Chain A
Amino acid sequence: MVSQEQSGNTHNQPCEPTPARRQRSRSLLASLLLGACLFLGLLFVFEGLFRWTDLDRIFGWRSLGTYHGQFEIKWFELRDYVRSHGGVDVLLLGNSMVNTGIDPDVLATEYEVLTGERLRVFNFGVEGLTVAPNSHLARVLAARYHPGSIHFFTEMRDYAAGNGVEVERRLLADEWMKARLGGKETVRTWLKENSRVVQHLLFFRNWSRSDFLDSSLMLARRFADTTTSGYERDANVGKSIEIPPDPADPDEQENFKLFTNFSIDPGRLENLKSILDLHEDGTLVVITEMPVHANYFTYFGNEQAHENYLKKLVPFVEKNGGIFLPPPDWQRFPLYSRVDHHHLNAIGAVLHSRMLAQNLAVLCLDQSTCLLPAADGMASP
């Protein structure tokens, strides 16, 4: 708090516009222009490279700007899949249980062996998505890729009001998703949807957030772990699966609170109907459950609760033009093939994919209800 002279400070001399300085100043304005041109030029070069070479897939860090990184991995993988295979015949939809529980390649191979038909199958299982967001997603995917069959894997939790609402809210509130669902298309949403270079930039949009490194490394690993047909391998082996979940366990209390007095929410049934209605466009809609361990139903009371739920669900599916395919017997899955009460690991996924293919083949050969291939040339990657 003394004078500047005392401290020897000589700050901020006004800039006199000398001729030399003026010359340099002119070059700054030119530099600003050149910098802008360089930036735009690079954007165009990379847009071309991402669009017309394999760099898009090789440099796989892409985003749509939604909060759900794993959903985005599936979205881009499906786009790449359709681009390389010319389309997709069967879309497997559901939550994380589907994501790690079915290997589409194993399913397609087994199905081909049994029926002689080779189908292009993609696993679009996304963590945390209940029937509510899946009903919107199914419509978007069906409109875009025109698969011949949609196989939706449902479970009791899908129909508990209040379950998964936050995931649904955040995903459906996203501007890009809104535009895909028929909402307003803005410059931002258009760029997110159509520009490859913007999609790559979007991955780095939160580069300066403290959790960016953690989340992006995790996503990069998950991207690497996800096959081109959308299956994410889980190598973990669960412990204490034979022990039912304990209501006194603080980690489990939330689940018990949510599912103990389970009843089917009519709104969620409407969501299921929305998926089933896709059959009106000629799409075969198959509804199945995952082969969860019996202890899983402890959350809902007991296995009787599950039986009661099926008594309502199966007629609903059949009444609305869908096919309900019972899951493989859960007892055929050894404990080491599970991650927890409801998720399968890599061993379980292979087992399940084969059994599922067998069930589908039986459906095809015995009841003449075969999975339908996509109409050629309909998909728009």
Chain B
Amino acid sequence: MNVTALVFFVCAGTAALVYQRLKPRWRMPWLLVISAGFVVTWSWQFVLVLLVYSALNFALGQLADPAKTHARAWARAGILVNILFLFVFKYSDFYLPQFSALLSSLGALQPGSVLHLLLPVGLSFLMVQNISYLLDVVNQRLPAEKDFLRFCVYIFYFPKLLSGPVERARAFLPKLTTPLKVDRSLLERSATLIFTGLLRKLALANPLFNLIPAQAFVTPLDYPGQNLVFWLLAYTFALYNDFAGYTAIVRGVSLWFGIELSANFNLPYYARNFTEFWNRWHITLSNWLRDYIYYPLAWSLRRRFHQQDHFFNIFLPPMVTLLVSGLWHGLSWSLLVWGALHGLYLVLERLPSLGKAVVPVNKRPLWRQRLGTAVTFLFASLAWVPFRMPLPAALQYWQGLLRWSMPDFIGLARTLVGWSPVSGWSQFDLPNPILLLVLAAALLFDQLQHRAGTEEFMLNQPRWLQVLLTALLLLVATLAFFSDTTAPFVYQGF
């Protein structure tokens, strides 16, 4: 079930109404039932897989309790099990063909057939959550959860199941026990988040994705450089609005149950450097990577190489962290390059500050902050190229960005005055005006949030704008209802 579908809101709303009417002791089972029901809309087998996965991690959590013997070994085993679990399902394309061939040679499978595994929804997100749970238990930041039902709800909770936010058990579990009071104020916050999320997804992300020709990311050199530039900008904003929109919607829906999920985005393209970028982009995952990979690695290296500006101390923590981030997104060279690029950006960013005091970015002159934003945006956008397409195509895309051609202004003028028949737009080698319009809207939308200083910025807007945006959202949703194309959430693929 797609979280932008009307049926999702109707079901979630009904579930929330029932939830509010239930006695507290029945609320947890109810959350598990509706979450499992949500999973069933994808596949009933996923429920079984997730139940097994939950039971496994619950048991590992008990074994990783520091009060028990070999707790640390069990925690390590648990981490391996989680990685293995992800590998078995997510990267089955790598080993199943060979495994199928082996079975075929043994006569257990029809020759030529290949086994397939369904990837349970949100598995990558669940993996990092479970690893943090085990590490928190073994490091005594959190007692091992004794209530299996509560632990299952932590895993299954439907608003965060598909694509996060990545919630830590120590922050999330208490929210289950003591949910917020669902009053008018909370419902208004919820409405704001959902409204913003729907606008981001339906009015900005989907159009921007669809406005890029599919072949542009396959044979980029077939297109003029100026169009590639705008399509890269479109992808840059589409990806952000897609994921930020998704997060806002599920956070809004979660508030119906009195459970506040963590924020995941804070205007990442306003970041003044890459450190800030990673504090604004996919915040919950970035924080996870920071806390469970970057810091431990940095501390460990610091103990080994005492000099702060030792090459390894500067280079390894960001590089390893971002490479892991790339691998988390998928097992491919292009995603590794994406991670490596961001790792490199962070390393380069730290070089000028070696041996001298760091001036916090918000204390720098305004022009430097603005310049920093522009440079960060430029290089973050360039890094999306390998994120989006395989490496050979990415190399061509980068190359193509510099190969501009002269647009056919004469042809356009002839058509406008009626001397040539109208036969399309792409022949003029000019950027698509609809794309420019949506890009401008995306920029304006972020600017509104930037000026308001909160994700719930719609609350602060003048009434005429709220009314207009509502009507616009309904128009876009109506067109999407009749449209021939759909655009699933990108991060659901991870």
Could you show 26 A-B contacts with beta carbons less than 8 Å apart?
A1-B317, A6-B360, A9-B276, A11-B266, A11-B280, A12-B263, A15-B456, A15-B459, A25-B185, A31-B463, A38-B470, A42-B471, A188-B482, A202-B482, A204-B479, A205-B483, A207-B207, A208-B483, A209-B210, A209-B211, A210-B211, A212-B434, A213-B425, A213-B426, A213-B432, A218-B422
CA distance A8 to B368 in the complex (A): 14
Is A243 interfacial (CB-CB < 8 Å)? no
Stretch of A16-24, A140-148, A159-167, A282-290 contacting B (4+ beta carbons < 8 Å): A16-24
A17 touches B185 (CB 8 A): yes
CA distance A202 to B479 in the complex (A): 7
Is B424 interfacial (CB-CB < 8 Å)? yes
A210 touches B195 (CB 8 A): no
User: A13, A26, A207, A212: which contacts B454 (Cβ < 8 A)?
Assistant: A13
Is B321 interfacial (CB-CB < 8 Å)? yes
CA distance A1 to B298 in the complex (A): 11
Seed contacts A1-B278, A211-B213; 14 additional CB < 8 Å A-B pairs: A1-B322, A8-B276, A15-B454, A25-B192, A28-B458, A38-B471, A204-B479, A208-B438, A208-B483, A209-B211, A210-B211, A213-B424, A217-B422, A218-B424
B424 touches A1 (CB 8 A): no
Using a CB-CB cutoff of 8 Å, which residues 206-252 of chain A contact chain B?
206-215, 217-218, 220-221
A28 touches B191 (CB 8 A): yes
B485 touches A209 (CB 8 A): yes
Using a CB-CB cutoff of 8 Å, which residues 261-295 of chain B contact chain A?
263, 266-267, 273, 275-276, 278-280, 283, 286, 289-290, 294
Return A178 CB to nearest CB of chain B, in Å: 16
CA distance A25 to B469 in the complex (A): 16
A1 touches B482 (CB 8 A): no
Interface on A for B, CB 8 Å cutoff?
1-4, 6-9, 11-15, 17, 21-22, 24-32, 34-36, 38-39, 42, 65, 67, 188, 192, 198, 201-202, 204-215, 217-218, 220-221
CB within 8 Å for A213 and B455 given contacts A7-B276, A35-B467, A205-B484: no
Is B468 interfacial (CB-CB < 8 Å)? yes
Is B318 interfacial (CB-CB < 8 Å)? yes
Residues of the B chain whose Cβ atoms lie less than 8 Å from the Cβ of A215? 424
Residues of the A chain whose Cβ atoms lie less than 8 Å from the Cβ of B267? 11
CA distance A11 to B47 in the complex (A): 35
B421 touches A221 (CB 8 A): yes
Using a CB-CB cutoff of 8 Å, which residues 199-245 of chain B contact chain A?
206-208, 210-214
A206 touches B466 (CB 8 A): no
Binary contact readout B324-351 vs A (1 if CB under 8 angstroms, 0 otherwise) = 0000000000000000000000100000
User: B455, B478, B484: which contacts A67 (Cβ < 8 A)?
Assistant: B484
B422 touches A35 (CB 8 A): no
Is B93 interfacial (CB-CB < 8 Å)? no
Is B474 interfacial (CB-CB < 8 Å)? yes
CA distance A31 to B461 in the complex (A): 10
CA distance A11 to B470 in the complex (A): 26
Binary contact readout B350-361 vs A (1 if CB under 8 angstroms, 0 otherwise) = 000000001011
CB within 8 Å for A205 and B482 given contacts A7-B275, A35-B474: yes
B434 touches A6 (CB 8 A): no
Is B189 interfacial (CB-CB < 8 Å)? yes
Residues of the A chain whose Cβ atoms lie less than 8 Å from the Cβ of B460? 24
Residue of A nearest to B421 (CB): A221
Is B433 interfacial (CB-CB < 8 Å)? yes
B432 touches A206 (CB 8 A): no
A36 touches B459 (CB 8 A): no
Residues of the B chain whose Cβ atoms lie less than 8 Å from the Cβ of A24? 459-460
Return B280 CB to nearest CB of chain A, in Å: 6
CA distance A99 to B469 in the complex (A): 43
Using a CB-CB cutoff of 8 Å, which residues 474-494 of chain B contact chain A?
474-475, 478-479, 481-485
Is B188 interfacial (CB-CB < 8 Å)? yes
